[in-house]
Structure 1
Amino acid sequence: MKKTLIPLMGIITLFTSCKETHQTENILKKRIEYYLRECEDNGVSGSILIAQEGEVLYSGGLGLSDRNKKTQTNEETIFTIGSITKQFTASAILKLQEEGKLSVKDSLAGFFDNVPADKKNITIHQLLTHTSGIIGNLTNGGDFVLIEKEDFLSKVFNSTLDFAPGSSYYYSNVGYTLLTIIIEQITQQDYEVYLNDVFFKKVGMENTGYILPNWDKNNIAYAYKCGEDRGAHIEKWKINSNKISYHQKGNGGILSTPSDMYKWYTTLKEHKILSEESTKFLVEPHVLINKNQFYGYGWVVLKSDRNTKKIAHSGFNGVNYSNFIRLPEEKNTVIIYMTSLVRYDTRRIGKEIEKLIFDENYEPIVPKMNSTKYSAGEEPNKNMTVINKFASILLKIETEQTIESFMKAHIPDTGKHKRFKNYFRAMQKEFTDYKLVHTLEYEDDTYDILLESKRGVIEELTPCFDLKFNEQNQITAFGW
């Protein structure tokens, strides 16, 4: 009898433990689903995947990806991932290093002719870690402004370094495009073609790329900001004859889905396309960003709120936002979040989910995206009266009203007056000869102010959101 008692008790203990784990997982799933439903009810749209220990806890979409067609966002909706693109560039460099075709210790002089003296010794490692001193972005270097490779290189090599190579850190999109050009020179292939052949096809990432995938056009998310349709990347590339600008190539702009990016994560974790050594290089804390964050190769390495290792990167182009969070010490938790409807709180959803997962008492912040539109001059409440006064001063309609008296009357925190004045002057300079079109009022007492140029172009006061009020109709925040 004693011999059967111990295994029986072990079975009972194991059964009880499994049952409790299952119950905990069900509670967590319900909390996640409830939070995301709240987000959707409040106007959020996007796609999210959450996984732990190789099991997907949640995968799905919120809101509409195309308002005109009333297309519901789902787990296969295609978004722009922005600077998350950089990890593909870094991985391609490490793949070429594995093949003996380059080394991260190699310098620019080994790849380009006539490199200026101040840039000759910049290494691939420094480009990967944003420590090269190369400028962040070229002047007039918009994502969809076409520039030929030779012109791009000429402008970069003739630019002034921000600091001596290796002496500091400054985030550089230009640096990652230089890496992209190096990849193209070595492989004699277009950057996207190389990624597709070496990475994406091999792991079944059929919805990842710039223009090569056979996109389901009905499943591509359109970007919206302050109620205005900002279009989709695919359409903008078509205008440029399907050419990807070197202002963006390799540093941002790739399209993907959370499910495809999870395949990528699994591929890295299981060392299917990169060796274990190379994979470690991606997430090594190579260079200090600040006291809590380090930059690896296309990834940021930091500590979570629970003092565990966190590996992450986000992508943001002012309209679209994506976030990729990995927590290898906490059940290999992965959170991948993408949205093309951005306001100040929508960018934090991935982090809010992280807090929700690891703190059963945490009440996550729900972004408020539903809004009411008021035409210029409408004053249904005291907040709108203040906003119309602000717009009149900004657009120089009410010359007798000074910004100093406005701040004294409506911004109680005098410590913010200097920053507000700088914000105001910058906006006044940017929006000369504009007129007020309408204002969007959100449920959290924040407002977006939309202006129209003489050419009929509608712009929001940047950055969006613009003004936030308290219950006393006083301005408590402005800008991001």
Structure 2
Amino acid sequence: MKAFSSPLAIARLALAVTLASPLIAPFAGAQTDPAQQARIEARFDELAEAGFTGFAAIAHDGEIILARGAGLADPATGRPFTLDTQFDIGSITKSFTGMAIAALVDAGRLAPDATLADFFPDVPADKAAITVHQLLTHTAGLPDAVGDDFSDEGWASVRDKAFAAELHHAPGSAYRYSNVGFTVLAAIIEIVTGQTYEDYLVEEILVPAGIEHTGYMAVYDDALAARNRQGEAVIDASWGGHAPNWNLMGNGGLVSTPRDMLAWQAAYRNGTIVSPQARDLAHAPLVREGDGAPSFYGYGLVVEDDAELGRIYWHNGGNPSFNSHWRVLADQGYELFATTNQRGISADTAIEALVAALMDQEFEVQHPRQASVDPVALPDTAGGGTAAEFLAMIASDDEAVWRDYVLTRMSDEMRAVAPMDGHLGMMRQLHRDVGQSDVVAVFENETTITLSVRDPHSGETIPVMIEYDADGQVTGLMIG
């Protein structure tokens, strides 16, 4: 990943070495080119050796051609990762919410131009005209969050804070990623269906399609759940030790398994889990993710067109304990899913590496290097100066400093991959995660400098790679 491909791409990573668990055999009848199979197997080995722990799976035309885990889902018991391990899939939850809304629209039960005033008599005037379509496409102007994922808040409390929040822009005038918008959509689903968000999603859409381990508490199974590096299961590490609260509802925190995710992707793409009309509505490239961005947002998913790969659908999501990424290469017939419980090699990196292996493209998996226990000085070089500027920027909590960095230090191509709000959201995340980190190792070549920084929260080391050109402009940034 040479740059943050969208404001959704949140890389939270560290370095560790684990051994891969045994290969889970592909489904009977799966066909793939032997050379291609060898490449994806070898690439997974590289990921595992570099520190990936979790699970990665690929299906081609509905048949699994790769299904492998690395590390342990539960170190305390020695339980390995499998196709049936439950992970927190984070913001991928939005893809399920978008699908559910599209199904209701297709059934004539909900209109995309329905407004908040149609559902909530107490909505303030500045938000009354916000539409379902704007909520789905992150164009409503609502903030990213109004509360804590670990809290125990109900809908009424979250609603009051969301309705009181200042809009970032006039509804429909710009793209700005918002978890709150999808929480409001979950509440609208409950009003329209008379069921809880989870009951409608699970009972009406997923279970009838044979997808039985995706949901919240209704499907959560502690015996299947992955643990984070501290040994905490999803219920503790992602939900705060109780059922998910309304700061997560509809926008994050769903659990799923690799088997379910592949089945869901295939059924969704084939128009069997919801109607082809609902699928096409959700998969349409509706709103560009910022001026000049190569990606668009549909209903809860990202849509891109690649010159070599064709049409791509994807979403990712994560928190400090888990991160996941699903991707469909629609014109190639591939579904991919990767999920991890660590910060060394992210699911985003794993997917990029595996796609490159599938298509016989070059990709170098960054291997862990021995880092010093003590902080080290940055070199007196062009790369050292570039790194110093970057570290000073993320150490600041001043949004004006982040904005100036984007405008003056990033190349035109780097700025174009996301709207300014997306860049600022990433800087905010970096500030929280590694803003006060010590540099413990530095590796440099002519146009790239890679730092190992020590996460002050977990003690893990996190690789930060910065690419720059002859003018000192940042042309690529990869965390992990």
Q: Same fold by TM-score, threshold 0.5 exceeded?
A: yes
Q: What is the match of residue 313 of structure 2?
A: 311
Distance 2:261 2:231 in 1: 24
The letter of the residue matching 1:350 is I
Q: What is the match of residue 234 of structure 1?
A: 235
Q: What is the match of residue 213 of structure 2?
A: 207
Of 179, 183, 206, which residue of structure 2 is paired with 1:173?
A: 179
2:376 is the counterpart of 1:386: yes
| Aligned CA distance change for structure 1 residues 430 and 63 (closer, same or farther; 3 Å) | closer
In the TM superposition, residue 467 of structure 1 has moved relative to its aligned partner by 8.6
Task: Give the structure with the higher percent helix.
Answer: 1
In the TM superposition, residue 346 of structure 1 has moved relative to its aligned partner by 5.3
In the TM superposition, residue 441 of structure 1 has moved relative to its aligned partner by 11
2:279 is the counterpart of 1:279: yes
Q: For the Cα contact (< 8 Å) 1:44–1:62, is it kept in 2?
A: yes
Residue-pair matches, total: 402
| Aligned CA distance change for structure 1 residues 416 and 445 (closer, same or farther; 3 Å) | closer
The letter of the residue matching 1:279 is R
Deviation by residue 1:7-59 (Cα, 9 ceiling, x = unmatched):
xxxxxxxxxxxxxxx99612211211121122223331111111222222112
Give the TM-score taking structure 1 as reference length. Answer: 0.75
Q: For the Cα contact (< 8 Å) 1:353–1:364, is it kept in 2?
A: no
The letter of the residue matching 1:118 is D
Of 322, 325, 332, which residue of structure 2 is paired with 1:323?
A: 325
Of 159, 162, 179, which residue of structure 2 is paired with 1:153?
A: 159
Q: For the Cα contact (< 8 Å) 2:220–2:255, is it kept in 1?
A: no
SS in 2 for 1:386: coil
Q: For the Cα contact (< 8 Å) 2:325–2:337, is it kept in 1?
A: yes
2:393 is the counterpart of 1:422: yes
Deviation by residue 1:115-149 (Cα, 9 ceiling, x = unmatched):
111111100000000011111111xx221122221
Q: What is the match of residue 421 of structure 2?
A: none
The letter of the residue matching 2:92 is I
Q: For the Cα contact (< 8 Å) 1:35–1:364, is it kept in 2?
A: no
2:367 is the counterpart of 1:368: yes
Q: What is the match of residue 222 of structure 1?
A: 227
Distance 1:346 1:313 in 2: 11
| Aligned CA distance change for structure 1 residues 441 and 78 (closer, same or farther; 3 Å) | farther
Q: What is the match of residue 82 of structure 1?
A: 90
| Aligned CA distance change for structure 1 residues 234 and 441 (closer, same or farther; 3 Å) | farther
Distance 1:385 1:126 in 2: 47
SS in 1 for 2:171: coil
Q: For the Cα contact (< 8 Å) 2:266–2:335, is it kept in 1?
A: no
Larger Rg: 1
SS in 1 for 2:177: coil
User: Which residues of structure 1 form unaligned runs of 5+?
Assistant: 1-21, 379-383, 388-406, 452-457, 470-475
In the TM superposition, residue 478 of structure 1 has moved relative to its aligned partner by 9.4
| Aligned CA distance change for structure 1 residues 466 and 268 (closer, same or farther; 3 Å) | closer
Q: For the Cα contact (< 8 Å) 1:221–1:232, is it kept in 2?
A: yes
In the TM superposition, residue 245 of structure 1 has moved relative to its aligned partner by 1.1
Tell me which moved more, 196-205 or 342-351.
342-351
| Aligned CA distance change for structure 1 residues 288 and 233 (closer, same or farther; 3 Å) | same
Structure with more contact order per residue of length (Cα contacts < 8 Å, sep ≥ 6): 2
Distance 1:61 1:459 in 2: 23
SS in 2 for 1:234: helix
In the TM superposition, residue 353 of structure 1 has moved relative to its aligned partner by 1.0
| Aligned CA distance change for structure 1 residues 211 and 237 (closer, same or farther; 3 Å) | farther
In the TM superposition, residue 238 of structure 1 has moved relative to its aligned partner by 7.7
Distance 2:358 2:464 in 1: 31
User: Which residues of structure 2 form unaligned runs of 5+?
Assistant: 1-29, 398-427, 444-448, 468-473
2:297 is the counterpart of 1:295: yes
Coordinate RMSD, CA, aligned: 3.3
Q: For the Cα contact (< 8 Å) 2:85–2:226, is it kept in 1?
A: yes
Q: For the Cα contact (< 8 Å) 2:144–2:180, is it kept in 1?
A: yes
Distance 1:467 1:460 in 2: 19
| Percent of aligned pairs with the same amino acid | 29
| Aligned CA distance change for structure 1 residues 345 and 243 (closer, same or farther; 3 Å) | closer
The letter of the residue matching 1:259 is R
Q: For the Cα contact (< 8 Å) 1:344–1:465, is it kept in 2?
A: no
In the TM superposition, residue 335 of structure 1 has moved relative to its aligned partner by 1.1
The letter of the residue matching 1:130 is H
Distance 2:262 2:44 in 1: 19
Q: What is the match of residue 333 of structure 1?
A: 334
The letter of the residue matching 1:274 is V
| Aligned CA distance change for structure 1 residues 346 and 446 (closer, same or farther; 3 Å) | farther
In the TM superposition, residue 460 of structure 1 has moved relative to its aligned partner by 5.0
Deviation by residue 1:330-389 (Cα, 9 ceiling, x = unmatched):
2x1111111111236653110111111112xx34332435x7687xxx5xxxxx4516xx
Of 102, 109, 118, which residue of structure 2 is paired with 1:94?
A: 102
| Aligned CA distance change for structure 1 residues 368 and 165 (closer, same or farther; 3 Å) | same
Give the TM-score taking structure 2 as reference length. Answer: 0.75
Deviation by residue 1:280-330 (Cα, 9 ceiling, x = unmatched):
011101011143111000111112351511111111223321111111112
SS in 2 for 1:223: coil
Q: What is the match of residue 245 of structure 1?
A: 245
Within-5 A mapping of 1:4-15: none
The letter of the residue matching 2:390 is R
